[in-house]
Amino acid sequence: MADDAEKVLYSKLESIAKEQGYENYTTDVHEFNTGGANYTSRLYHITLSAPGCPDLNVFAKVALLSEKMRSKFPVELYSNEILYYSDILKRFHEFEENYNIDTKHRLRSIKCYGYSNEYLKENIVLEDLTSKGFTTLDRFLCVDWKYASRAVTELAKFHSLSIAFRLKHPEEFENFKEKFPVIFNEHLLKDFFDNHASKTIAAIKEENRQRLADYLKSQDFNFSKIPIRCPVLVHGDFRPSNIMHKENEDGELELFLLDYQGFQISSPLMDLMYFVVISTDKEFRSKHYHQLLDLYYSELSSSLKRLQVDPETVYTKDDFQHDVKLFEPYGVIIGTLILPTMSVFVENARNIENTEDANMFEIDPCETGSQRLNDLIDDFVKLGVL
């Protein structure tokens, strides 16, 4: 951790200790590495201990992107996430209270203890779920039906609360478009595929390589202008690395969505398609692709009804199917962009803390990444997208 960022974090921890009544406290700080699953932050498990108080276990993220790399991403690190925890999540809880939503149907959320949004010194301190037995799925593993169905059920709660927010506060919702710029915008995507995707394209098997290359050339990558039929606040990076889970004694899988840096306004299909291409394999999609989409819509409808919103007035099944077809091309592009990076081995993961390398996402896909990408392209050929 850089000296200045370290001072800011420890100052924040001091404030948290004071707020929680932890006098004469000590800190136990452990940095950990996700081995290629995270590229923007340094991550820490921290325990605050004080006489007569239970240990307070928190999780801290400290920004590490260099100024050169920040210019590639049109977002202030953690600003979206800070807004989510400081404002939007409170609104969501108010909706759940006002409509007497049963606990089992409420969006699971963690506590935010504090943050700093000072440029190049950003940090955010959250409840540490690992101390309660939660973990993330190994990024080299693909999800099974139990995990995937539970994940999209939680996502449906999140999106339904967003729809309720839009209906209750339409002007404020519209203003979010200025606050939540699209991370994977058309300029970044076009630059990647024009200049840095040669290794990825080369990993595609010959029978599909030219088909994919021609398809990518035909795209303008401006998904923010797609005429979606039900705009929502989307997570933007909905994958197992940003979901913590624990299997309870009764066999139920408990999930929490984390990491709202990619927060933006789009179609629910942005999150769904992203989850499918990053988290599932060919076998899962052959059995469950359409089943998973149907489950999501069913859960969204149920969640909306609990909030006294009629799905038929805001997002019919036909509207949903319309958006599926609009966002399947997004799946092709994001899968091609991200799968090689997300499946990179630890020893090959790039350190971008001080990098000036504009080609840092140009990675030779490993065997696992190549296989998953080729399987994905095969599936989109079968779906008639390619």
Q: What Å distances lie between residue 189 and 47, 197, 340, CA to CA?
A: 40, 10, 15
Q: How far apart are CA 75 and CA 181, in angstroms?
A: 7
Is the C-alpha dihedral spanning 335, 337, 338, 343 positive or negative?
Answer: positive
CA atoms within 13 A on the CB side of 91: 19
* Contact (Cβ atoms closer than 8 angstroms) between residue 311 and residue 300: yes
Q: How far apart are CA 284 and CA 45, in angstroms?
A: 34
**129-132: long-range contacts at Cβ-Cβ below 8 A with a sequence spacing of 24 or more?**
129/59, 129/244, 129/246, 129/256, 130/45, 130/57, 130/59, 130/244, 131/57, 132/246
- Strand 243-247, strand 253-257: pairing: antiparallel
pLDDT value of residue 314: 97
Cβ partners under 8 Å of residue 194, min gap 6: none
Token pair belonging to 125? 């301190």
Cβ partners under 8 Å of residue 128, min gap 6: 45, 46, 57, 58, 59
pLDDT value of residue 257: 96
Measured in Å, how far apart are the chain's first and last C-alpha atoms? 44
Token pair belonging to 185? 């915008």
Q: Which residue, chain included where needed, has tokens 């998973």?
A: 292
Q: How far apart are CA 153 and CA 161, in angstroms?
A: 13
Q: Where are the domains of the chain?
A: 3-382
pLDDT value of residue 361: 54
Q: pLDDT per position in the chain (386 positions), as tens?
A: 456 777 888 999 999 999 999 999 999 999 887 554 455 778 899 999 999 999 999 999 988 766 665 666 555 678 889 999 999 999 999 999 999 999 999 999 999 999 988 877 889 999 999 999 999 998 889 999 999 999 999 999 999 999 999 999 999 998 887 777 676 778 778 888 887 788 889 999 999 999 999 999 888 888 777 888 999 999 999 999 999 999 999 989 999 999 998 888 999 999 999 999 999 999 999 999 999 999 999 999 999 999 999 999 999 999 999 999 999 999 999 999 888 877 654 444 455 444 445 455 556 778 888 999 999 999 999 999 99
pLDDT value of residue 149: 98
pLDDT value of residue 35: 53
- For residue 302, count other CB atoms closer than 10 A to its CB: 15
Helices (H), 138-267: 145-168, 170-179, 186-195, 198-202, 206-218
- What is the helix (H) or strand (E) element at residue 114, kind and residue range? strand 112-116
